[in-house]
A and B are shown apart, each in its own frame.
Chain A
């Protein structure tokens, strides 16, 4: 029987240490792992490097950890929805590296897929190619992007079973899927927890093979509670 990975949030989050890199799922508030981020706010940690699409929405999300000076660097495609990020940058409290959205998603996917990196045409002729190796293949130029491996990933799913098979809902799937693949230790918060066999095997978006710990999402962050959601 697949192992039961449901643990108290304190136990799962005890794997997070100062100086670690963390991949974070979500997209401007949709599918952001707010329960796990809330827990990070209570921990005595610093110098985190965060890889995520953005820093949150309406001052919720990783922007809250920036306010607490727990984050050293954010690698993201867009931080315009959280003005605090710009302020922290200007004050020298935070480093931000802007990365094209598709490149960031693929860095995560490749990291989880055992690939060393990939070649993308995105960003050729722009600042995105600065300091990067350019490779020409069949007459087209590509940027060589190394794959991303993180220490930790924190993600959120709508439904999950005790082994960590996950199903997302609507556009909350986004970066949760690639983030789940790229880290040594992957923590999923789930809005609805099921026993093994309750979820339709055809409908699983993230296999439990990628997930190390399952915790219950704070009920406040749950969307559709009563609906058993199978895809």
Chain B
């Protein structure tokens, strides 16, 4: 059985559509680049100023002037390019980016996202996350279902300061996939291998509907 992060990234990869421009957050979301389905071509933008991000360079071939927003060395695919930060956020805020995949601390039933600060903990900052959730056409939260203390990250209402209000469109965890619709709110569409509808209900605090054609054992198999 693969670990939770791999299961999430693999399922998130299936959300990608041919020709999309996407931005992947730091950490788990970066793994999604390893799960782009065959026949699907996506272009990866990184907010520090590059589009057409390719595979990581071979060891020894790293270049100090070529990195992603998480300071990891990158390569560019043919057709890729570099730009400044104001231009980068025109791409993001201006609606030119099709989808962003981000981790989270909390997400709630209204689609609110809280992923930049834990009150009382050391301040890091929101980086580009507020712009990304506001500007990307589709916002996909990819996160473990529960926090380390076992509490649900999928909450009735976020308690941490928000990154974006009502911006989340899809939630993918190692246990389930929820999609948000304007009229119905979040709908449980897929349940991962090893979980039942009751299991999901037990670990999910936010309200959601269950799709008529909900898929059980939908993903997560080895």
How many angstroms between the C-alpha atoms of A27 and B127 in the bound complex?
A: 11
Interface of A: prevailing SS: mixed
Contact between chains at B63 and A223 (CB < 8 Å): yes
Interface set, chain A 123-141, CB cutoff 8 A to B: 123-128
The answer to whether A77 and B128 touch across the interface, beta carbons within 8 angstroms, is yes
Which of A6-14, A38-46, A62-70, A93-101 contacts the other chain?
A93-101
Question: A77 with B71: in contact, given A105-B88, A172-B65, A176-B84 (CB under 8 Å)?
Answer: no
Min CB–CB distance B106 → chain A (angstroms): 13
- Contact (Cβ within 8 A) B126 A178: no
Kindly identify, within residues 129 to 177 of chain B, every residue whose CB is under 8 Å from any CB belonging to chain A: 129-131, 134-135, 161-166
In the complex, the answer to whether B85 meets A78 with C-beta atoms within 8 Å is no
Q: In the assembled complex, which residues on chain A have CB atoms less than 8 Å from the CB atom of B116?
A: 98
Looking at the assembled complex, report how far the CB atom of A61 sits from the nearest CB atom of chain B, in whole angstroms.
Answer: 12
The complex places the Cα of A77 from the Cα of B48 at a distance, in Å, of: 12
Chain B: number of interface residues, binned into ranges: 35 or more
Known: A80-B123, A122-B131. 15 other contacts (CB 8 A): A30-B48, A80-B122, A80-B124, A102-B130, A102-B131, A108-B86, A123-B134, A125-B112, A125-B162, A126-B161, A127-B162, A128-B126, A174-B49, A174-B88, A178-B85
- Could you tell me which B residues sit within 8 Å of A by CB distance? 46-50, 63-69, 71, 74, 82-89, 92-93, 112, 116-117, 122-131, 134-135, 161-166
Which residues of chain A from 151 to 205 have any CB-CB distance to chain B below 8 Å in the complex?
158, 168-178, 205
- Asked if A103 is at the interface (CB within 8 A of a chain B CB), the reply is yes
Interface-central residue, B46, B68, B127, by most chain A CB under 10 Å = B127
With A102-B92, A122-B134 as contacts: A174 and B48 at CB distance below 8 Å: yes
The 8 closest A-B pairs by CB, nearest first: A125-B165, A80-B124, A102-B89, A170-B65, A177-B84, A102-B131, A78-B125, A105-B85
